[in-house]
Amino acid sequence: MPSYTTQTAGRAVSPAPPTPPPVVHPPDGHAPSGKRFLIAMLAPMTLLLLMFTVYPFVSVLWGALHRSDLTRPDDDTFTGAANFLTVLESPGLLTAVLLTAGLVVCAVALEFALGLTAASLLARTVRGSRFYLAMLVLPFGATPLAAYLAWRLMLNPDGGQVNTLLAALGLPAPNWTSEPWLARLAILVVDVWQWTPFITLVMLAGLKALPKEIFEAASLDGATGWQRLTQITLPMLRPLIAFVITFRAIDAARTFDSIWIITGGGPGDATETLTVSIYRSAFGELQIGQASALGLLLMIVMFVLGKRYAAPALRRLEH
């Protein structure tokens, strides 16, 4: 095989690399501009955001600052902060706030405890873990309306599956939607049943991402399971935990459909949270302005919580 290396002054000299072909640029006007291309790609999503986010917000803000009474649709007088003052002076506002806060704290605490426990068990290589994981995801993947209607039927005092099972066990069969504390307990149970799988999946992903070498070294040093959990696992998952709890708390505070379908906000106002109060004010009393004002106040509180806790936790997760 011939050699293509030449000898120059006693040393081998490799040939120069081949000259790349010249780059031919398309004529002006035929190649799409990068900026125009990005604008064209982002335009549909921008229009959707304006349609489903900005316009509803402006509409609610306009309603909160005007009379917006459906009993007098022609009267749209500008009232300024009058609707906000009326809402803040409402006698049922404090009850709705306390009930919403109580449900959020209890639901998120139970869901996190159960979700972390389930994730810790599923993170281990045990037989049937995939089957248990698939069964656990079923409540989270169920259609909400169908699930809430099923729970309403199961909690029916006359022939419901829950009371039938309690009667078979020799236990009293209460009326779940007639007693205030039982109605609140029913709403809490349904929420925990539906959203515990979400926290389980998120925490399971976080546990799977942790390096195993740290836990193996801790085991060799004689650390117990509780010490590994409290001194290694939870500190390393702190940003994820903060984000999940804040996200779930904001979502739980705006829960409406399960409460309205199962109890209708009753008995009386026993399960009337802030979202139910907004609905009743808008579509029961036809006070759109007051409902808009209360909705804006709730949105501001949720925004502050998200900005204070969820956003920093998300930034720490990214790094």
Statement: residue 191 has pLDDT above 90: yes
> For position 103, what pLDDT does the model report?
94
Question: pLDDT of 113-122, one tens digit each?
Answer: 999 998 888 8
> For position 231, what pLDDT does the model report?
86
Q: List 78's β-bridge partners, or say none.
A: 66
Identify the structural domains of the chain with CATH numbers, from first to last: 91-318 (1.10.3720.10)
> For position 293, what pLDDT does the model report?
92
Lowest mean pLDDT among 26-30, 53-57, 221-225: 26-30
Q: What percent of the chain stands above pLDDT 90?
A: 28
> For position 125, what pLDDT does the model report?
67
> For position 2, what pLDDT does the model report?
47
Question: pLDDT of 283-306, one tens digit each?
Answer: 888 888 999 999 999 999 888 888
Lowest mean pLDDT among 121-135, 162-176, 196-210: 121-135
Q: How confident is the model at residue 272 (pLDDT cuts 50, 70, 90)?
A: very high
Average confidence (pLDDT) over 157-163: 86
Statement: residue 64 has pLDDT above 80: yes
Considering the chain, what is the average pLDDT of its residues?
83
Query: Over the Cα atoms of the chain, what is R_g?
Result: 30
* CA torsion, ordered 93, 99, 105, 107, to nearest 10 deg: -130
Q: List 12's β-bridge partners, or say none.
A: 7
Answer whether 0.85 is exceeded by the pTM. Answer: no
Backbone angles phi, psi at 16, to 5 degrees: -65, 145
Question: Most confidently modeled of 103-107, 225-229, 305-309?
Answer: 103-107
> Which two structure tokens, joined as six digits, stand for 316?
């720490």
Question: Most confidently modeled of 11-25, 216-230, 237-251?
Answer: 237-251
